[in-house]
Structure formats: structure tokens, C-alpha cells
Amino acid sequence: MVDLPESGTNSWHIRSGSPTVALVLSQQEMLASQLGGGDGADFALDQTPLEADAEIPGDLAGRSQLMVVEVRPDSLTSLRRIEKLRAQHPKLPIIAAVRDASISAMRTLLRAGVSDVLTLPILRRELDAIVARLRGEMTAGVPEATGKLVTVIKSVGGVGASSILTQSAILYADMEARRGREVCLFDLDLQCGNAATYLGLSPTLTVADLLDAGARLDAAVLRSVGANMARKLAVMAAPLDMMPLEAVDTDQVCAMVDLAKREYGTVFVDLPSDWTNWSLSLVAQSDLVLFVVDLTIASLRQAQRQLALLDKLGVAQDSVQIVVNRIEKRLFRQIDLRDAEKVLNRPAHFTVTNDFALMMTALNQGIPIGDIKSKSAIGRDLLKLIDSIDMLFGRG
């Protein structure tokens, strides 16, 4: 029997499916404003008490899709704060919150690049209305992202998550191709990703090129990077050189994956072992999360901690499916499947038989397991996995 202690979690900032509106007001104006829950407002309000001339934390703008910032037109420092924010985040919609604004002050603010001006104290219905209008302008002409997002996370490195991902993705791509839909795979394990290698590819363009594209990223650029096809699967390979995980911007990654969801029917994403705000944001927006573990103390302990983190951040439990890898059918084991389910307090949704030799042969040759051995226990397990994905998405 395995008994693992619970662990605490740290503070994280994630971008969920609903946009985040950052509200930066002085303590006095925060108390004077009426910020109760709006009727039907579909955005998260991130309130930060801050004096009107104080420096705005850089990470606040990075995790927001729209900002409401208090401005005192008679304060040069306060005005320059808005100008600096606009220069650093040219695409971020900024609403200036002003008390008793004159016509000349409003003109000054609009020339500084704010998207609109809101009168202090703020009334929630006025905030909801202006946010709704700006969001409508931001999304006008942008097609809805209808593709499904599947993220793959691992308890610890070495549990075989990337192996399961690549083999499952190529099987699912073959299935979807017969229905006229496309599938792509993002390897966002920016330091240790091997998805392209496991699929027999040596791409010259990678995820790093998509990130470097910045505002120039569009469908044509995306498809050019995924042009190195593994059968019917478009592969966005991990960078050729290691990248610092913290160097990646959450909004940029989310925008990149949103674009892929508009272009492809299903998007698989391999995530790094170390959590970041952007990887948590992708998990929070996923239609399905495949959490790969194995029957070892280290794996289950880390899985327990990570599941607690996801629960704390509000990730729906039913979207996280546990995949237990390298199952062996032998009588005497220190840890069995029931032990794992008890430790995790979750059912094992999928199991994958241990056939290390067959899996490694497939990965080394960059081909599906079925091309080596048409009938195998591990092959059947992977087919069950993709059939279940199909049913979860209402496609089966």
C-alpha cells in the first residue's frame, strides 16, 4: 500500500478560457467604485490596488487581455505611466479611469493611445458595457476556434508521455484524415522535446520560428512550420536549441494555439515537466488533459501534488484523464493499479501495457507501432485511447 503526504501549492497566474481584465486603481478609488459581480459578465476581474503614479508590475499586463488603469491628468508621472504601458504593450486595449475628466484631458489620453475613458468611481454595469464593446472590436472578423485541444502532461520525466503522445497523435491523424479533418502536434517541451525525432522527422522550422514571428504569425506561417508531415500529422517541432521556459509569453503561446485550433480539427500539445504560467494556461483551456503516470512512488507522489495544484486553480476534474503507462501483468508487485487510484483519488481512465522493446523500436525508426507489429497489447491500448478521445469529443 502506498501512502503519500499532501503538499501545498504556490501562487500562479493562468489565463483561462475567459479573458482577464486587470483593474488598477488606488485604494481610495477601489473602495469608492461599485465592482460587484456583473450580470452575465464573461470575464475575470483582476483587481490590483496601486496609486495612480506607482509603477505597474510588468507581469500584470502580460497576463491580462484588457486593462483599466487610473490616471490623474494633472500628474505628469501618472500620464507617463500610461504612455509607457502603451509603448510596452502596443496591442493591449487600455481603458483610462479618470475622475472629473475635462475635454482636454480626454483628448490627451486618447492621443496617448488609450482605447477609451471610464469615469471614476466605476460602476460595474459601465465597466461591463465598455469591456463588451472592446472585446467585440478585438474579435471582429476573427473566425471562431472550433478545433479541440488535447494537452499531455507527465508526473515526472521519463514516464513515457511523449511516446504515448506521438503514437496516439499519428493514429488519430490517420482516423481524422478519413473524415476530412486535420490534426497537428505542438511540441512545447522547449528544452527536452523529442516528438519530431520520434516521428522520424528532422525539421528545419520549429516552434521557435512561430514564437519569433510575433505579430506576423498567421495561418500561412503556421502551416509552413507544420509542413514536415508525419503521414497525415502536422508537427510543430520543439526548438533546435534549448529555450528558457520563462522567456515565453503566455498571451503569445495561447494565441499561437488558438490559431492552430482554427486551422486544424484537433491540436495535441506536449508540455514540459516544469510548470509555467503559460503551460498552466493551456491546460486550463484544454478540452482534454491526458495526465501520464507510472506505478512508481516518485511518479505517484508528483502526480498527487500536481493534481492538487490543478484543483486549486479550478481546472475541471472531468477534463483530466489519468493514463497509467507501462502496466505489467504479473502477480507480485509493490504497487498496483488500485494503489495508484487510491493515492490519486482518481480512477485510472486508461492503461498502456509495458512493451518497452516494441515501443523503442517504433520510436527509433520514427514509425507507428502497428507498422512493426500489427497486433500487440500496447497497440490495442493506444487504439482504445484514441477511440475514447473520439467519443469524448462526440465524434465516435
Q: Does 94 fall in a domain?
A: yes
156 and 229 part of one domain: yes
117 and 207 part of one domain: no
Q: Does 10 fall in a domain?
A: no
Q: Does 213 fall in a domain?
A: yes
**What are the beta bridge partners of residue 270?**
152, 187
Q: What is the model's pLDDT at position 361?
A: 96
Q: What is the model's pLDDT at position 63?
A: 73
Look up the CATH number of the domain holding residue 89. Answer: 3.40.50.2300
Last residue of a domain, one of 111, 139, 167: 139
159 and 103 part of one domain: no
Three-state DSSP state, 353 = strand
Q: What is the model's pLDDT at position 38?
A: 59
- pLDDT tens across 204-219, in order? 999 999 999 887 889 9
- pLDDT tens across 226-256, in order? 987 767 899 999 999 999 998 888 888 988 9
Q: Does 5 fall in a domain?
A: no
Q: What is the model's pLDDT at position 1?
A: 44
Helix (H) or strand (E) holding 294: strand 288-294
Last residue of a domain, one of 104, 139, 174: 139
Q: Does 2 fall in a domain?
A: no
Q: What is the model's pLDDT at position 142?
A: 60
Note the pTM of the prediction, 2 decimals.
0.78
Domain with 56 in it: 20-139
Torsion angle (degrees, nearest 10) of CA 28, 30, 36, 40: 150
Look up the CATH number of the domain holding residue 349. Answer: 3.40.50.300
Point out the residues of the chain with pLDDT beneath 50.
1-9, 40
Grid coordinates given for 7:
503538499
- pLDDT tens across 261-281, in order? 999 999 999 999 999 989 999
